[in-house]
């Protein structure tokens, strides 16, 4: 086990990190047994993270020059507060760096960004079966929103609905 040390640094990702970001995305998908759902590639990520109309950002955690974790997030909006918030899309830490404080460092940086940007809140979702993630978020003070049910319209459904004008 690698002991947590002060060599872990955080920085905003840039275009040279696209392969690393894609690697982490594929690692999350493998952990969640959803590898077949990963359809992104470096060019899609370049447009979404760094393009003219980019809509997401990433932070990397590094041990020296080795990336050991990341977080991807984007802004959302609350009509009730009239303010933007942050939605944490993904967080991942390499297995040998887990339980060493790296995830907490990434979350702390995200908390700081939320406050610097005058965000009202930070939202995220976690898989119901991922007890380690659930415990981690709750240990940081996150409160489960059990009164909400998540829904999704996938691309095929969207296309069908637009075609039928339901």
Residues recognised as catalytic:
137
Strand runs (DSSP E) across the chain, as ranges? 8-12, 57-63, 66-78, 83-93, 122-124
Rounded Cα–Cα distance for residues 124 and 133 (Å): 11
Q: For the chain, how many helices (H) and strands (E)?
A: 5, 5
Across the strands, what pairs with 61? 10, 69
CB 75 within 8 A of CB 86: yes
DSSP assignment of 42-61: HHHHHHHHHSTT---EEEEE
Specify whether the backbone of 149 is left (phi greater than 0), alpha (psi in -120 to 50) or beta: beta
């Amino acid at each position: 086990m690698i002991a947590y040390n002060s060599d872990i640094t955080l920085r905003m990702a840039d275009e040279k990190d696209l392969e690393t970001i894609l690697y982490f995305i594929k690692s999350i998908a493998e952990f969640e047994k959803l590898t077949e759902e990963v359809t992104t590639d470096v060019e899609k990520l370049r447009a979404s993270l760094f393009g003219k109309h980019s809509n997401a950002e990433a932070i990397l955690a590094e041990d020296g020059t080795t990336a050991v974790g990341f977080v991807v997030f984007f802004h959302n909006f609350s009509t009730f507060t009239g303010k933007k918030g942050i939605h944490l899309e993904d967080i991942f830490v390499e297995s040998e760096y887990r339980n060493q404080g790296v995830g907490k460092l990434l979350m702390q940086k995200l908390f700081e960004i939320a406050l610097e940007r005058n965000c009202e809140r930070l939202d995220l979702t976690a898989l119901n079966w991922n007890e380690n993630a659930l415990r981690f978020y709750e240990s940081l003070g996150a409160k489960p929103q059990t009164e909400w049910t998540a829904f999704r319209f996938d691309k095929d459904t969207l296309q069908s609905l637009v075609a039928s004008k339901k």
